[in-house]
């Protein structure tokens, strides 16, 4: 039911071409939906020039959370977190460094070795996690407003999809807490053999900025369900929501030191966490290049096990039997969702030559209808990019696409003079050797490539160091089966895209990562397996 609801919300809420067809607004009415005229990027009137809406939430949690208390950084340093709609400062947040990481790890180690969490019954752990999920639902609108303010994603997306999914994920993992068990194993001799599944210890976790709270859930949920303690570093671009919800976790009864949250930068906070000799396991989501660094630091320290969810350059394959209108809409969503800031975005749109021209024209028209503006407004499909660095990187890739000979069908520039808004951009006549077809742009830039037959598109789709996800759009079951088995990726969506569920595993082949998150597979990331062997005397049976 949850997967179906998520899919429906995604398709209904964020693939509509007009503000008038926007879905219901969840929660409070902020007076944003009546009589508002939205700027499509093609109008030439910059959405960013409008007076930004004042977010309906107050920022209260800006310190580090260590051992159950909000504290300043040891150095006293802070850094600004910015509103991507304007570039203005939202708040100043404590900046952790190696000393703060030591404090957080020490608290997590004590909580694991001496505290009640791993010794608590699994049922009691699950009850705390369920109470936390209830509090998330109670504070849904405030959490969503923080997420939108700090990240730039549409408020409707945060309030209707992401925060409910946050609660759903923690309920899912709460359900697993008292179902983790080992096996009785037969042996060739008079022995009783059993396996124990034990928590691994202190888990260091580093999350990205594109889906701050969903990534929080993907990592913290299974770690806590298995009885571990956690030190989590937020992305420096989006520290606010994780600090807020961690406060709610303690209101739910989480013991001190079990969940510690630090904000800071990669070299000064992330690297000390990855290198720490008292961290027993590391999980990271982010770019492939940073993932290599994290893996190296873990290996050079105490050889702690690492799970990585990294970059992608996912193919979206439109076959010649496709309903072109449906394929255009789904391909549009696969690329432009979350401002294109999605690791599994369908960023290489392969279209069969028989329907290529029609597809390109309709993809251009759909992009021109995309509703861009203040993400706090009802009906907005696309807000600003997360920060100036990401904004400039995307524009540079667009310039490179033009220079390399791709056809710029629409978009290609900045929207307005304030904030980090980018026009929805579509390229046709893209070749596989162009940077826009090779690199992870992480922005609202659709690259459309032409193919002739299945063997060709399989070879081209797999000719990448990434292997995170793929989309297949066809009416032919045989074609779908051929592609799903041939594509070297961790997830294949057939006639759908970005269908996520708490139980569906997610992760990549090749340089898109190590291990899986979500579902039953994620639990193994946070467990040790111990074999226990006992001699049997006068056994009635073996």
Count Cβ atoms below 10 Å from residue 250 Cβ, excluding itself.
Answer: 18
Residue 411 Cα distances to 136, 142, 384, 387, 421, angstroms: 38, 33, 15, 19, 12
If we measure between CA atoms, which residue out of 304, 122, 130 comes closest to residue 201? 304
DSSP 3-state of 224: helix
465: its two tokens:
């160091």
Residues contacting residue 474 through CB under 8 Å, at least 6 positions apart: 317, 319, 321, 322, 480, 483, 494, 495
Is the distance from CB of 480 to CB of 496 less than 8 angstroms? Answer: no
Question: Whose structure tokens read 């993907």?
Answer: 218
Query: What tokens does 133 get?
Result: 């999920």
59's CB contacts (< 8 A; 6+ apart) are 90, 91, 146, 240
Report yes or no: 514 and 292 within 8 Å, Cβ to Cβ.
no
The CA distance from 317 to 331, in Å, is 9
Quick one: angle between helices 212-225 and 163-177, nearest 10? 10
Active site residue 124: no
Q: How far is CA 520 from the centre of its chain?
A: 18
**CA–CA distance from 444 to each of 375, 441, 476 (Å)?**
15, 8, 30
- Triad 501, 506, 511: Cα angle to 5°: 160
Could you give phi then psi for residue 181, rounded to 5 degrees?
-155, 165
Active-site residue identified among 309, 329, 409, 517: 309
List active site positions. 309
């Amino acid at each position: 039911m949850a997967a179906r609801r998520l899919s429906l919300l995604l398709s209904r809420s964020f693939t509509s071409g007009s503000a008038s067809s926007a879905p219901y607004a969840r929660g409070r009415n902020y007076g944003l939906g009546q009589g508002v005229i939205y700027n499509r990027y093609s109008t030439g009137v910059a959405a960013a020039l409008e007076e930004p809406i004042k977010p309906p939430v107050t920022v209260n949690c800006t310190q580090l959370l260590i051992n159950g208390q909000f504290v300043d950084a040891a150095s006293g340093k802070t850094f600004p977190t910015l509103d991507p709609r304007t570039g203005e400062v939202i708040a100043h947040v404590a900046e952790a460094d190696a000393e703060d990481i030591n404090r957080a790890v020490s608290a997590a180690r004590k909580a694991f070795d001496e505290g009640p969490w791993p010794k608590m019954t699994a049922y009691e752990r699950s009850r705390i996690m369920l109470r936390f999920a209830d509090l998330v639902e109670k504070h849904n609108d405030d959490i969503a407003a923080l997420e939108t303010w700090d990240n730039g994603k549409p408020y409707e997306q945060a309030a209707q999809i992401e925060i409910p999914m946050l609660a759903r994920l923690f309920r899912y993992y709460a359900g697993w807490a008292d179902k983790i068990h080992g096996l009785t194993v037969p042996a060739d001799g008079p022995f009783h053999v059993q396996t124990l599944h034990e928590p691994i210890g202190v888990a260091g976790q580093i999350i990205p900025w594109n889906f701050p709270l969903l990534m929080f859930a993907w990592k913290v949920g299974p770690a806590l369900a298995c009885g571990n303690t956690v030190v989590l570093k937020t992305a420096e671009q989006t520290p606010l929501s994780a600090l807020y919800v961690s406060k709610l976790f303690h209101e739910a009864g989480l013991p001190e030191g079990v969940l510690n949250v630090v904000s800071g930068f990669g070299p000064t906070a992330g690297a000390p966490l990855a290198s720490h000799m008292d961290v027993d396991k590391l999980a990271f989501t982010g770019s492939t290049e940073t993932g290599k660094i994290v893996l190296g630091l873990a290996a050079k320290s105490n050889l702690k096990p690492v799970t990585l969810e990294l970059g992608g350059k996912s193919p979206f394959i439109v076959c010649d039997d496709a309903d072109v209108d449906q394929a255009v809409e789904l391909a549009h969503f696969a690329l432009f969702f979350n401002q294109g800031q999605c690791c599994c975005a369908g960023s290489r749109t392969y279209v069969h030559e028989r329907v290529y021209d029609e597809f390109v024209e309709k993809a251009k028209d759909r992009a021109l209808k995309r509703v861009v503006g203040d993400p706090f407004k009802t009906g907005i499909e696309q807000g600003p990019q997360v920060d100036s660095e990401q904004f400039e990187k995307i524009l540079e890739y667009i310039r490179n696409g033009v220079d390399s000979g791709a056809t710029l069908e629409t978009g290609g520039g900045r929207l307005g003079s304030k904030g980090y808004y980018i026009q929805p951009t579509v390229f046709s006549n893209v070749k596989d050797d162009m940077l826009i077809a090779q690199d992870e742009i992480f922005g609202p830039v659709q690259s459309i490539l032409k193919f002739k037959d299945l063997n060709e598109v399989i070879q081209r789709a797999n000719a990448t160091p990434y292997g995170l996800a793929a989309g297949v759009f066809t009416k032919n079951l045989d074609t779908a089966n051929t592609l799903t088995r041939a594509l070297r990726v961790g997830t294949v969506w057939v006639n759908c895209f970005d269908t996520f569920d708490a139980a569906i595993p997610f992760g990549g082949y090749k340089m898109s990562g190590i291990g899986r998150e979500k579902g039953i597979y994620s639990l193994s990331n946070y467990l040790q397996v111990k074999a226990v062997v006992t001699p049997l005397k006068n056994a009635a049976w073996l």
